[in-house]
Structure 1
Amino acid sequence: MTEAALRPLPEGMERPGIARGLSSILAHRYLLTLLVRKELRVRYQASVLGLAWSYVKPGAQFAVFYFVMGGFLNLSRALPPFAIFLFSGIVIINLFTEILTNATRSIVQNGPLVRKIFLPRQLFPVSSVLVALVHFLPQLVILVIGALATGWRPDLVAVGAALLGILVTIALALGLGLIFAAVNVAFRDIENTVDLIAMVAVWFSPVLYSVSLVRDHFGPDSWLTHLYMANPLTIAVELFHRAFWYPAADVTLREEALVPDLMARGGIALAACLVLLVVGDRVFTRMSRKFAQEL
């Protein structure tokens, strides 16, 4: 390394071309805004419905699951109001899957930018989070309106559970997305792996059924039950159930249908996901040095 490269820079300046991780995002907020606008514009270019797809896709998903699970399997009677139980799980799962799948593809899809100029590579996965939140908010508004119609009245615990569930979901999806995005540059099979994760996520978390079915099937002390309960995605879905379904549910169903000590588990899940996010950021930063050559 030359003497000029080692020489300290004047105050307020930083050496270009150095990856600094997620901490560099705040200094590039304008670029992040441009990337989010670009992603939304490209996604809905020549689309008739445009952003209305944020309502159509979860609406169709909800209708199919409600008809099958609520009608055929009679869960609409076992977990009333089942529509709120189901939709609250769908909303948070969709947030997770959209962040994860888009973040995984973000570097490859923005290959021309990565090859031509230097900018913090973390901008691309983080922009996927913001795009997902743009789609998440209309679904959340519908969920709140539906919950209010069934007698839901927000309380501090419900609001805290909803915010905690969102934070757990974002930290988990972005942490995994950073790792998968970095590996996906060299091995494109990762995209198919993430698609599989997104497909099974709705079945391996209590979106369509209550956790009481898992306890009854494996036993309350089974290691499989404990493993299921330790899944941060299970906790995130249950936090949304606590926020929107629990206040309007029958008293006899409330405790049985939720994970015990939910708020404490939510705090532990958030801490674990933040650790994953730090690890993902470091893995991504280390591997990002070769992105331009490998793309």
Structure 2
Amino acid sequence: MTDRVATPSAAPLPPGFERPGRSRGLVDVFGQRYLLRLIVRKELRVRYQASFLGLAWSYVKPGVQFVVFFFVMGNFLGMRGMLPPFAVYLFSGIVIINLFSEILGNATRSVVANGALVNKIYLPRQMFPVSSVLVALVHFVPQLVVLLIGALVAGWRPGPVELAAALLAVMIVLCLALGLGLAFGAINVAYRDIENIVDLILMVAIWFSPVLYPIATVRDTFGADSVLMRIYENNPLTIAVELFHRAFWWPAADAAAREGAIVDHVMNRGLVALAVCAVLLVIGDRVFRKLSRNFAQEL
């Protein structure tokens, strides 16, 4: 009769230690905030290395974008007279769309761009898309300051509804962009065509949300009760843009310009959109966690 060899079980870890290689998703990221700060600093340093203007590009890029759209849409298509003050209407939409575009674009490329770190050490891989969010917020704040100054000059006075609308819009964009960025960033490791697809999405995003024109224009084209209009109105990106219009443009606009310019019940729609985007964030994190097991081999 032979003796059975007992299989040794995993030894218990001392207090304060965790077994490596087990991912808890985004929870792990915020448990290692110091490492996250290092990655954000690295991203900013690499981006502006040997750059003459440095962080000033946060003003230059949206500034040029604003001037071009203001000249074309405001003068050629008459939006200056239709949506006064059109400068505030236009720039508030540009600011929130740029936040979405930067997060999603950089998050999609973040894992591939940091392939050397992925192959060398174990760390929560979600840190790379999350760092894209923080870098985008660094660029978002200067644009928001410019928007605030312009809105104040135009006659804007903040109130509880305006502040709540702005905060709700930012939360929708952060959840939506990070959720999509996690999913696309993970898939992009195996299929690099994804980043090109995302570029196409971002290219048309500003045209398929009411940044350059009022929602009434879309309603007149699609029909108020059409399926396309309902899809357009309930698109989280449309709602985020309209919330920024409600926050910064609406108080300074006259009654005639307000009529039909913002989607109905935008605050209620915003709460629903935030819940949907939160679900998308959870799904994106699950997709990322599942696909991250093969990152080292793919990279």
The two structures have a TM-score, normalised by structure 1, of 0.98
Deviations 1:118-162 (A, max 9, x none): 000000000000000000000000000000000000000000000
Question: How far apart are the structure 2 equivalents of 1:3 and 1:238?
Answer: 60
Letter in 2 for 1:167: M
2:293 paired residue among 286, 289, 292: 289
CA deviation vs aligned residue, 1:50-82 (integer Å, no higher than 9, x gap): 000000000000000000000100100000000
CA distance in structure 1 between the partners assigned to 2:9 and 2:278 by the alignment: 38
- Runs of 4+ aligned structure 1 residues displaced above 4 Å come to none
Match of 2:3? none
Deviation at 1:233, TM superposition (A): 0.2
Q: Point out the structure with max Rg over C-alpha.
A: 2
Q: Which runs of 5+ in 1 are unaligned?
A: none
Instruction: Write 1 or 2 for the structure with the bigger share of helix.
Output: 1
- Asked if 1:125 corresponds to 2:125, the answer is no
In structure 1, what is the equivalent of residue 63 of structure 2? 59
- Determine the C-alpha separation between the residues in 2 that align with 1:3 and 1:247: 69
Letter in 1 for 2:79: L
Q: Name the counterpart of 2:207.
A: 203
Which residue, out of 235, 241, 248, partners 1:237?
Answer: 241
Amino acid at match of 1:16: P
Gaps of 5+ in 2: 1-6
- Corresponding position of 2:4: none
2:132 and 2:165 map into 1 onto residues whose CA distance is 24
Distance in 1, Cα, partners of 2:9 & 2:144: 53
The RMSD of aligned alpha carbons is: 0.9
1:264 alignment counterpart = 268
Overall identity of the aligned pairs, in %: 69
Describe the shift of the 1:266–1:3 C-alpha distance in structure 2 as closer, same or farther (beyond 3 A).
Answer: farther
Report the CA distance between 1:14 and its aligned residue.
1.0
- After TM superposition, give the deviation of residue 255 of structure 1 in Å: 4.2
Cα pair distance change 1:236/1:3, threshold 3 Å: farther
SS of the residue corresponding to residue 125 of structure 2 reads: coil
- How far did residue 88 of structure 1 move? 0.2
Match of 1:14 among 2, 15, 18: 18
Residues in 2 aligned to 1:251 and 1:4: alpha-carbon distance in whole angstroms: 73
1:193 alignment partner in structure 2? 197
Specify the SS of the correspondent of 1:257: coil
Amino acid at match of 2:200: L
Match of 2:223 among 212, 219, 222: 219
2:139 paired with 1:138: no
Query: For residues 173-215 of structure 1, what are the alpha-carbon distances to aligned partners after superposition, in whole Å with 9 as ceiling and x for unaligned?
Result: 0000000000000000001001001100000000000110011
* Alpha-carbon displacement from aligned partner over 1:227-249 (angstroms, at most 9, x marks no partner): 00111000000000000000000
Query: What is the TM-score of this pair, normalised by structure 2?
Result: 0.97
Equivalent of residue 78 in structure 1, options 59, 72, 82:
82
